[in-house]
Structure 1
Amino acid sequence: MSNSLITKKYISNNHSNREQKTPLVLIHGWGLNSAVWEPTIQKLHQHIDIITVDLPGFGLNINKPLADYSLINVVNEIQSAINTPAIYLGWSLGGLVATQLAYSFPEKVVACVTVASSPCFLNKSDEEPIWPGILPNVLKMFYQQLAQNTQKTLEGFLKIQAMGSPHVRQDIKTIRDLVMQHSLPTEQTLADSLQLLETVDLREQLSSLKMPFLRLYGKLDSLVPKSAIEPIDALLPHSQKHIFPKASHAPFISHPEEFNEVLLEWLGQL
């Protein structure tokens, strides 16, 4: 059996589109899996070829964990599995993966999109000005909860992701129903991948990127606060951004029509 990560491909019937020649690769966030993209795929694959990939140890790749769960090792696995130039879209932790891919393999990344993501998720209170992000005690809480009850921890994370959304309960149910199609990742995989959110800092790498770059945010996001958007603007001034005013951490779930419209308009400009 091949050790390569499993991917899924969705081929568009619209062969007249310019972007049809370049697939869009969707990368999920922490604790979840590629099934979270199903509603998005139903709309987008009418316009563009789509590839989904589960991070090592998640979803379809639950039996393909990494002994050393570093960001560069994750990126190496994904680029080897895709093995073609593509547009990469990463949500939350997936945004870190997409950014590292763009930095390490620029010849493979035609364009990059991050959704509710930051080059540095952790709050840096020792910097001046302070870098906005997740407070260390919040991540510590997740580590402690993981050791006690994996499923309860993921349920709590879903609530934080939807917090602030005008239809929070429905958003949580939608995400839960989608991702529970697959088995839960192991406690070890969850802890190893959570450490990426705690330790990775790609601010310097982000500033060096030259390819087209779109950043999408939810104004009500508590994990990537709106106060982080302006500092990221300064790191990547050539990038474009869109802020969904009533969305939280998962705008493609809470505001799918607006999300798809913004994304397709940008893709059409490439």
Structure 2
Amino acid sequence: MQDEVIKDGKFRYIEKGDGTPIIILHGLMGGLSNFQGVTEYFPKKGYKVLIPELPLYDMPMLKTTVKNFAKYLEQFIKYKNLDQVILLGNSLGGHIGLLHTKLYPELVKALVITGSSGLYESAMGDGYPKRGDYEFIKKKAQDVFYDPKVATKEIVDEVFATVNDRIKLVKTLAIAKSAIRHNMSKDLPKMKTPTCIIWGKEDAVTPPNVAEEFHDLLPDSELYWIEKCGHAPMMEHPEQFNQILDAWLQQRKF
């Protein structure tokens, strides 16, 4: 990704544009570059796009939880002196956005979730992750997408490096368990924040019925599908993703 990562104290983030803030939350195995299409498109539409690097592997083990990542996000919003933000999260990032919105509803104007955890997590596979088995990791990375070619060597190498780092591996599993513990089915009906749900029709990690359940449980939500698309629509179909989100934001006058 070409965008400069700003380092300031404990925060590392990308920032582009001016206007209504859209804060992007990456997933467990996702990097800042996963949202390149969004960061190129929305600043031209009058939005300030910010992508904080979540401290997935930097917190003490006992604090490596979805709730503490939501609190970290609140600290970042205060640090940037923002208010009435739009949160956009994929996978674990969607879960963090949902929990943050529950904890700090006054800070969030709107929520966008895609392939979000929070209701359901598929098993990562038998014996996952197999350290040292590059082909196994490659297959797992490809399974995230409808088109396996989206899982570039760079993406596979990054996942392979993570699961072969013992500390990162242990924390990855701790985060996955925390996500399962933080099931939000009882919280969602009380959350009135306008929510845009964008989902891949062929998502094998969080299948389509998960999107439908989010839509049923969230009082003010709209659900949009992207065909021939897996777990990361903003990577696999960036133009379509941007068009859906842009139209929703305009319709809601955000």
Specify the TM-score bucket, using the shorter chain as the normaliser: 0.7 to 0.9
User: Which residue does the alignment assign to 1:54?
Assistant: 53
Partner of 2:124: 139
Contact 1:139 1:198 in 2 (8 A): no
How many angstroms does 1:2 deviate by?
A: 7.1
Mapping 1:120-139, distance limit 5 Å: 120-122=119-121, 134=122, 138-139=123-124
1:257 to 223, 236, 239: 239
Shift of 1:198: 3.0
Quick check: 1:5–1:78 contact (8 Å CA) kept in 2? Answer: no
Contact kept? 2:92, 2:116, Cα under 8 Å: yes
Matched residue type, 1:9: E
Equivalents in 1 of 2:237, 2:192: separation in Å?
A: 29
RMSD between superposed Cα atoms in Å: 2.7
2:144 pairs with one of 139, 161, 173: 161
Partner of 1:73: 68
Indicate which of 37, 40, 58 corresponds to 1:39: 37
**Count of aligned positions:** 235
Please list every run of 5 or more consecutive structure 2 residues that lacks an aligned counterpart in the other structure. 1-6
Asked if 1 retains the 8 angstrom alpha-carbon contact of 2:192 and 2:219, the reply is: no
The CA distance in 2 between the partners of 1:34 and 1:49, in whole Å, is: 16
- Equivalent residues of 1:4, 1:81 under 8 A apart: no
Pair 1:39–1:234, CA change in 2 (3 A): closer
| Identical-pair percentage | 20
Unpaired segments ≥5 residues, structure 1: 13-19, 123-133
Against the structure 1 CA distance between its residues 203 and 42, is the aligned structure 2 distance closer, same or farther, given a 3 Å change threshold?
same
Q: Is the Cα–Cα contact under 8 Å of residues 190 and 219 in structure 2 kept in the other structure?
A: no
Per-residue CA shift, 1:131-184, capped at 9, x if unaligned?
xxx2xxx3363xx4336349767534321211xx2x331x1128728x94xx74
Q: Would you tell me which structure has more strand in proportion to its own residues?
A: 2
- Amino acid paired to 1:11: G
Tell me which residue corresponds to 1:131: none
1:78, distance to aligned residue in structure 2 (A):
1.5
Rounded to whole Å, the distance in 2 between the matches of 1:65 and 1:221 is 30
The 10-residue stretch of structure 1 (150-159 or 231-240) with the greater mean CA deviation from structure 2: 150-159
Distance in 1 (alpha carbons) for counterparts of 2:154 and 2:243: 21
Does the 8 Å CA contact 1:119/1:206 hold for their aligned counterparts? Answer: no
| SS in structure 1 at match of 2:151 | helix
Distance in 2 separating the partners of 1:105 and 1:150: 42
Paired residues of 2:203 and 2:231 also in contact (CA < 8 A): yes
- Closer/same/farther in 2, CA of residues 69 and 151 from structure 1, 3 Å limit: farther
Cα deviation code 1:165-212 (max 9, x no counterpart): 2x331x1128728x94xx747223322222233332011112111111
Q: Identify the match of residue 199 of structure 1 among 176, 181, 203.
A: 181
Name the CA shift for 1:72/1:197 in 2 (closer, same or farther; >3 Å): closer
Out of 196, 210, 220, the residue aligned to residue 238 of structure 1 is: 220
| 2:16 aligned to which of 10, 16, 28 | 10
Aligned residue identity for 1:76: K
Measure how far apart 1:236 and its partner are.
1.4
1:101-130 Cα shifts (integer Å, max 9, x gaps): 1000111111100011243123xxxxxxxx
8 Å Cα contact 2:34-2:234 kept in structure 1: no
What is aligned with 1:87?
86
What is the match of residue 173 of structure 1? 152
**AA of the residue aligned to 1:77:** Y
1: distance between equivalents of 2:229 and 2:187? 28
Secondary structure of the corresponding residue to residue 203 of structure 1: coil
* 1:11–1:75 Cα change, 3 Å: same
